[in-house]
Amino acid sequence: MNPDIVKERQNATFNVEKLTNILDGSTEKTRRRREIESMVLNDPDFQEQDPNFLSRSERYDQAVRKSAQMILKLREFGISDPDEIYYYKNCVHPDRPEPLDLHLGMFLPTLLNQATPEQMDRFFTPAWNLQIIGTYAQTEMGHGTHLRGLETTATFDPATQEFVLNSPTISSIKWWPGGLGKTSNHAIVLAQLHTQGNCHGLHAFIVPIRDMDTHVPLPGIVVGDIGPKFGFSEVDNGFLKLENVRIPLDNMLMKYAKVEPDGTYVKPPSAKLTYGTMVFIRSMIVGQSALALAKSCTIAIRYSAVRHQSELKPGEPEPQILNFQTQQHKLFPVLATAYAFTFVGQYMKQTYNRISGDIHAGDYSGLPELHALSAGLKAFTTWAANGAIEVCRMSCGGHGYSRSSALPDIYVEFTPTCTYEGENTVMMLQTARYLLKSYSQARGGQQLQGSVSYLSRLQPQPVSAGVPPLNIQDLASLVQVYQLRAANLVELAATSIQQELQLRRSQEDAWNSSAIDLVRASDAHCHYVVVKLFADKLRQVEDPAVTSVLSTLALLYSLHGIASNSGDFLKAGLLSVPQALQVSAHIKELLIQLRPNAVALVDAFDLNDKRLNSVLGRYDGNVYEHLFEWARHSPLNASEVHESFHKYLKPLRSKL
């Protein structure tokens, strides 16, 4: 153990294990997670070559091998609980995307949510047993987040009781689905349903794309890999062109919407049910944002505890860089955000499960809020995490640039979340529609429920009303000021649209001309939800020492947010200039308070070294020895003299 890291852990003021239990959800969940991690990490079948030293084809091959082993092991050990499968998978592929992601995360859940009992018998069991390997083909080359613009067609032919699927244009070719390029033999295809001369919008269809024995593409199917990306080197993101592909009538997922044998269309109870899989994934992405931040700040904080550099005082030993206030100001807000997003991720998972249960019972009332909340929080958390990962990387100096740190890979694997399952700006605008509708209902006297209930209870404070009393050391006071800021920005967005309409602009033009205000309103709403959920979580914690350190994190998260968005609070009359100065001063005090617990707080995430896969973030802090060892494994070091010397450099001498 590095002596610096030992000392850091000795300085902790709370029990790390108790906090880990809170992050996992219970003592039993921590125990079971570690048991599953041990099963995977000690299994020789999952040993791998360092992907950093492999070609893309080799990385894909290795990932498929491990995924196949994973399925066999899950069957062998009888692991079927979704949380436990998630733990197991994240150890097999340490938080890296892999070829079966969409099969496990979208194909199977879509069947569960949208298939009839008969379709479950036909498709789910073979898919669970990996006879059917599926993907979710929604995005097209020319259309992504704007789902109504998707061009793929599914036209019902009553004479044969079949749908005929086509990609009518070059831009309608399905593009990006993971596992589509080489892995899958089936796809759930989102296509515009045409029957009896009418288009009824997007619906989901199960389409065989490869022969289940030979794996050769079926007639009318043009399919392949789209090539290297920014990251996702182990995933065969693919393209799919459909040329008069015929599938049976009952290959349309018909739990809600239906097409009768004569072509009659039966509407679903709610149009949003078609997008249930996306809502599920968006809810999951919130937790992924928390995990990406937990990994990043674990690496950066542990490294900052053992890295010594520069001088605080001439002639004295170089201090740990974690002792510099600027390093703390970079990293501790990221640490606070990781905790905040972890608790939001827990809430989103619980909310999704609760509302899904209501939907299965025939109650669709919670679906609009779930859609708005998952869209907004997906955007809010991924934007914040994307920037924070880069802060952590740069906080590690030159070594953060090396892939041995794991930070470059965390960044390139996480960044796509800002785009897939809904581009973030569009997601914020979808949340804004819900906020404005709720605001209008509140102004009409309706009592709102859920995350927007504050629009009923509170009216935004005009600047002329003066600054409300704000206690910057009281979390309840901070929750209220975030609430008021959100209400103020929602009203400003609504006012902007009304002003545009008074200029006789169309509703669409008024919306576009107010889009900046709408996104800010959604951002403020999501920020309020995160602060409130952090405060709510503190009331559930029983251990005083853990409560104390979490309270410090919650205050730092809230005050850092005020400092970063001070213009909103000042313009709304929610903050005075003297109060803004107090916020900045108190943030510095909170950095001092957190310093003794920084390493213990990242230890509480309980990220195993193999799963973290970072030389800089090692639990034992022995960075330099292992950095040298890692470098020596580079394929360029396989021989003392590379063949290029004899082929190209040495011949230069004879030409001089």
Nearest-angstrom CA–CA distance, 223 and 215: 12
Between residues 304 and 96, the one the model is more confident about: 304
544-564 and 16-24 helices, crossing angle to 10°: 70
| pLDDT exceeds 90 at position 469 | no
pLDDT 10s digits, 130-162: 999 999 999 999 998 888 899 999 999 999 999
Nearest-angstrom CA–CA distance, 255 and 403: 46
How many helices, marked H, and strands, marked E, lie in the chain?
Answer: 26, 11
Nearest-angstrom CA–CA distance, 431 and 454: 16
Nearest-angstrom CA–CA distance, 465 and 454: 19
- pLDDT average, residue stretch 382-408: 97
pLDDT 10s digits, 513-563: 999 999 999 999 999 999 999 999 999 999 999 999 999 999 999 999 999
The share of the chain scoring above pLDDT 70, in percent, equals: 98
Residue-level pLDDT at 362: 86
| pLDDT exceeds 60 at position 461 | no
What is the DSSP secondary-structure string of 221-281? EEEEE----SS-TT---EEEEESSEEEEGGGB--SSSEE-TT--EE--S-GGGGGHHHHHH
Strands 153-157 and 186-195: parallel
Residue-level pLDDT at 467: 53
pLDDT 10s digits, 221-257: 999 999 999 999 999 999 999 999 999 999 999 999 9
Write down the mean pLDDT value for the chain. 94
Burial (CB < 10 A; 0-12, 13-18, 19+), residue 639, is exposed
Weakest mean pLDDT among 354-363, 553-562, 638-647: 354-363
CA Rg value for the chain: 27
Residue-level pLDDT at 20: 98
What is the pLDDT confidence band of residue 458, given thresholds at 50, 70 and 90?
low
- pLDDT average, residue stretch 33-41: 94
pLDDT 10s digits, 89-121: 989 998 789 999 999 999 999 999 899 999 999
**DSSP E strand stretches across 128-213:** 134-137, 153-157, 162-166, 174-175, 186-195, 198-208
- Name the residue ranges covered by the structural domains of the chain: 133-268
Nearest-angstrom CA–CA distance, 299 and 316: 27
Between residues 50 and 656, the one the model is more confident about: 50
**Is 450 labelled a binding residue?**
no
DSSP state for residue 54 in the 8-state scheme: S
- Three-state DSSP class for residue 468: coil
Q: What is the pTM of this model?
A: 0.93
Q: Which CATH topology does 133-268 take?
A: Butyryl-CoA Dehydrogenase, subunit A; domain 2 (2.40.110)
Give every CB contact of residue 508 below 8 A, 6+ residues apart in sequence: none
Weakest mean pLDDT among 4-13, 48-57, 383-392, 531-540: 48-57
**Is 139 labelled a binding residue?**
yes
Residues forming the active site = 421
Nearest-angstrom CA–CA distance, 517 and 429: 10
Strands 134-137 and 186-195: parallel
Q: What single-letter amino acid sits at 387?
A: G
- Three-state DSSP class for residue 201: strand
- pLDDT average, residue stretch 350-378: 91
Give every CB contact of residue 390 below 8 A, 6+ residues apart in sequence: 411
Looking up tokens 């200029």 gives 503
Residue-level pLDDT at 639: 94
pLDDT 10s digits, 174-203: 999 999 999 999 999 999 999 999 999 999
| pLDDT exceeds 50 at position 387 | yes
The share of the chain scoring above pLDDT 90, in percent, equals: 86
pLDDT 10s digits, 259-299: 999 999 999 987 767 767 778 889 899 999 999 999 999 99
- Three-state DSSP class for residue 164: strand
Residue-level pLDDT at 464: 45
Residues 301-314 as b or e (16 or more Cβ within 10 Å = b)? bbbbbbbeeeeeee
Burial (CB < 10 A; 0-12, 13-18, 19+), residue 175, is buried
- The vertex-541 CA angle with 27 and 528, nearest 5°, equals 120
| pLDDT exceeds 50 at position 463 | no
| pLDDT exceeds 60 at position 625 | yes
